[in-house]
Amino acid sequence: DAIDSTLPPLNTKQLMGRLEEAGVSLPVYLVYAHLRAQNYRVIRHTPSRRSLLEELQQRDNDNGKKNWKKKRRNEDVDALKKALQRDAVESAPPTVWVEEGNAIDLAISWDVYQPDSTFRKSNPGLPSMYVTVRPFASPSPTFRSIQRLLKFCDGIPLKVATVADGGTVVMFAVTDVGVPTLDKKKKSKE
């Protein structure tokens, strides 16, 4: 749908009604709005999205080489692009990451891309970062859950977002670098 700029903005009640109809929670929407306000490209994450993107990237690289199979590869790339579009359209709305019973691949809400001119919706490449949304008043996730999520991210940076009271979006970078050693005796022996 094209956006009609002559329509008045939604009031709070209308916005909440639209979010409820779409199955999107307010924290997930606020994180999305926060990222879009900074001009990031934000796409709904799905469990199969990364494998489709990697395969599309590989096929695109292969198409650059002179090859008698080029026409066939172009057809394969077009089919992958359609599968990527279908995947995004048919996916469930993003949710807040709650550890109990939630599959780790469903913990990620958004694939986020840097705001630059090289982004192409038909072939965006791998995301610049993944974003997951956590409830503000809930306990922190366990280290095991964070490790599993980092392993799933496989080198793509992870940000954990939460929405504080009043709608303030807070984001934390999560890494597996570890904590530096403070024991001087061990350092001097190495």
Reference 147, options 176, 123, 188; nearest CA is 176
Domain 20-46+93-175: CATH architecture, name and number where available: 3-Layer(aba) Sandwich (3.40)
User: How confident is the model over 22-76, as pLDDT tens digits?
Assistant: 888 889 999 999 999 999 999 888 878 888 888 888 776 665 555 545 555 567 7
Domain ranges for the chain, please list them.
Answer: 20-46+93-175
Cα–Cα distance list, 141 to 97, 132, 151, 170 (Å): 9, 12, 15, 16
The token pair that represents 146 in the structure block: 């964070």
Q: Which pLDDT tens digit goes with each residue over 159-182?
A: 999 999 888 999 999 887 766 666
